[in-house]
Amino acid sequence: MFDLQKCEHLNDFLLRSEEKINELMGTELCSVVYVDHKNNRFVKIFKNVRKTVSDLRMGIVGKSFTNDIVIQTKNSKNDPLFNKGIDLETELPMITFPVKYCEKILGIVQMIHLRKKIGEKFLKKSFFWEKEFLNYFSGLLGMSFQKINPILE
């Protein structure tokens, strides 16, 4: 998907992943969270600082991880699941989805929705194909996670 040779550390990989997702998906803001299965925690880069969260059920990210689902929110800050410690903080529509490789969740992506104006009509009509696209995209990103995984551990 992108040049993994430049990613020597987890921080580099997550930041580069976020840059590429913004570029490829046309989003303004996204967050890539790595699932550290070995230590049973999430790892996220926030303002260039590595942050770990040990509760894998925390926030919208945690729900996406534990239930293996795509979650679409209209305003994450007002969502009852929102947790400032792990979730992308925005008042814009957002999609949260797992990044998988061989059915194992390796990460979670949260990104500002591709279409900033969202309504019930849009949610019902286009979310199905969008979920299929996100599943495909998740698989591609999952391959990148898997390739760099030995470097991360």
Q: Where are the domains of the chain?
A: 9-146
Strand partners, 52: 43
Cβ partners under 8 Å of residue 35, min gap 6: 42, 43, 56, 65, 105, 106, 107, 108
Closest CA to 105 of 15, 35, 32: 35
Q: How many residues does the chain have?
A: 153
**What pLDDT score does 22 carry?**
79
CATH of domain 9-146: 3.30.450.40
**Whether the predicted pLDDT of 152 surpasses 50:** no
Calpha distance 18→111 (Å, rounded): 9
pTM: 0.78
Confidence band, pLDDT 50/70/90 cuts, at residue 116: very low
